[in-house]
Structure 1
Amino acid sequence: MEKATWFSTWFDSPYYHQLYASRDDQEAKHFIETLQAYLKIAPGAFVLDAACGKGRHAKMLQRHGMHVEGFDLSPSSIEEANRLANKHLRFFVHDLRVPLPKQAHYDVVFNFFTSFGYFDEPSDNARAFQTFAGGLKPDGILVMDFLNPTYILANLVPEEVVKRGAIKFHIKRWEENGYLYKSISFEDQGKSYAFQEKVELISKDDFLAYAEQAGLTFINLAGDYSLAKFDEQKSPRMIFFWAKK
């Protein structure tokens, strides 16, 4: 049996969702409205939320009249997301590195909130881009929302304590060998827990290269959730737009 990855165990933990409870529907609603004003996706379009978590973005997309599917590696996240499901909104468990069940099907594929960069091998990043491209119709759009490594490292908070209910999450962050690490330790009901996140600090140029290899054409790069122009030093996000030509 394949060894469990850190993201398959941590993302499937109830403590993950408790720690990041501040990622709320209002945040997702605002970003989706901004994206829709820019992309003008037609009602009835088929869109995919890749690595969708509990479906907060997918839900907002469906409210704009789209036919939405979302997938995630975490069974517990998909179980939660399925509470939102209806005839125009469905969810399934899937791995980014595996070709999608529906090929050349989607008008737009979204990958929100740094739901990428978790793999140890660059070849897995390339495989994920092939997954995105394979699912898109000709002229379909890929939208990827990822952290800006330059900004993150310049503004890194090495250590903090975050309280959620009765639990105090002790968090440490550091950079090592091209990855951003976050250790998370806490106690609950007398038991100690420890998890670690690891995200590759993928550069803008590497993203552009992965997309080009997958047959995607660059359209635009924004720097935050208002889609302001990207600035390498000042922008907190890298929000890419590519088209399948």
Structure 2
Amino acid sequence: MDVKEWFSTWFDSPYYHILYAQRDEAEAAAFIRSLQQKLKLKKETRVLDVACGKGRHAITLHNFGLDVKAFDLSPSNIEQAQEFASEGLEFFVHDLRKALPDHLKFEVIFNFFTSFGYFDTPQENQQAFHVLSDGLLPEGVLVMDFFNPSYVLSHLIEKESLVRGGISFHIKRWASEGYLFKSIDFEDQGQQYHFEERVELISKNDFIAYAAQAGLHLVDLLGDYKLGSFDEKNSARMIFIWVKK
């Protein structure tokens, strides 16, 4: 396995889920419901959840009556997600840079909560967009939720310590060469651990260019989970809505 692909080990670690266990599930569910209403998704609409983790958002989509398939790079995540699989809710292991099976075509594809920007090259980003576009039916919709780099850099917390599950996580954040880095150090049962996250600071214009190259037309750009309008300076999120033409 390519050692540079840190996400294939950290996202597979139980400590990743301990650190981020307190994410706001109610906010996430409200966001997904708002998207469903905005997009006017009917029951049994075929949707794909890309980089689904343990499936929490795929489950929410399914609970709204949608026909959901979901994938993640982590076998461990998918193994745990499989516990919730049922008719109309399927999970599988997949790498976003690789083509989806030909028979899988969707009316809507979702990529939630900054599950992009982990690759090493712009070419890989572009390839991922081609995979997403190829997975859509004509007039299909791609929704991608990513942090707003301008906002994140101006509100960056450089150091903090968080206690989760009885473990003290010591976190440092910094920006370098177009990426946002986060180092995570902690001790558990007498053993020291160190992980490092790295997410590309992809600009709004770069996202729009990647999508355009893949045949996707931008129809809306939202700035928060309440679906407010995007503002370059003050919006924490960039929530893109594209249509395949």
TM superposition score normalised by structure 2? 0.98
1:220-231 alignment to 2 at 5 Å? 220-231=220-231
Partners of 1:52 and 1:198 in 2: CA distance: 19
Deviation sequence 1:14-64 (CA, Å, 0-9, x none): 000000001243232111111111111111111000000111111111111
Deviation sequence 1:110-162 (CA, Å, 0-9, x none): 00000000011110000110110010000000000000000000000000001
1:125-136 alignment to 2 at 5 Å? 125-136=125-136
Count of residues in Structure 1 that have an aligned counterpart in Structure 2: 245
RMSD over equivalenced CA pairs, Å: 1.1
Name the amino acid aligned to 2:33: E
CA contact (8 A) 1:104 1:134 kept: no
Partner of 1:76: 76
Partner of 2:196: 196
Name the amino acid aligned to 1:32: I
Determine whether 1:38 maps to 2:38.
Answer: yes
For the residue of structure 1 that corresponds to 2:228, the secondary structure is: coil
Partner of 1:172: 172
Cα distance, 1:103 vs. partner? 5.1
Change (3 A) 1:238 1:103: farther
Determine whether 1:120 maps to 2:113.
Answer: no
Structure 1 runs, 4 residues or longer, greater than 6 Å off: none
Cα distance, 1:170 vs. partner? 0.2
Partners of 1:75 and 1:4 in 2: CA distance: 18
Change (3 A) 1:157 1:2: closer
For structure 2, the residue ranges without an aligned partner over 5 or more in a row are none
Cα distance, 1:3 vs. partner? 3.9
Cα distance, 1:168 vs. partner? 0.2
Name the amino acid aligned to 1:88: G
For structure 1, the residue ranges without an aligned partner over 5 or more in a row are none
CA contact (8 A) 1:174 1:181 kept: yes
For the residue of structure 1 that corresponds to 2:137, the secondary structure is: strand
1:23-34 alignment to 2 at 5 Å? 23-34=23-34
For the residue of structure 1 that corresponds to 2:86, the secondary structure is: coil
Name the amino acid aligned to 1:147: F
Deviation sequence 1:161-219 (CA, Å, 0-9, x none): 01012200000000000000000000000000000000000000000000000000110
Partner of 1:182: 182
CA contact (8 A) 1:103 1:135 kept: no
Cα distance, 1:83 vs. partner? 1.1
Cα distance, 1:65 vs. partner? 1.1
Partner of 2:107: 107
CA contact (8 A) 2:27 2:225 kept: no
Partner of 1:60: 60
CA contact (8 A) 2:72 2:93 kept: yes
Cα distance, 1:87 vs. partner? 1.0
Cα distance, 1:80 vs. partner? 1.2
Name the amino acid aligned to 2:214: A
CA contact (8 A) 2:161 2:170 kept: yes
Name the amino acid aligned to 2:52: C
1:203-222 alignment to 2 at 5 Å? 203-222=203-222
Name the amino acid aligned to 2:11: F
Partner of 1:19: 19
Partner of 1:47: 47
Partners of 1:10 and 1:24 in 2: CA distance: 21
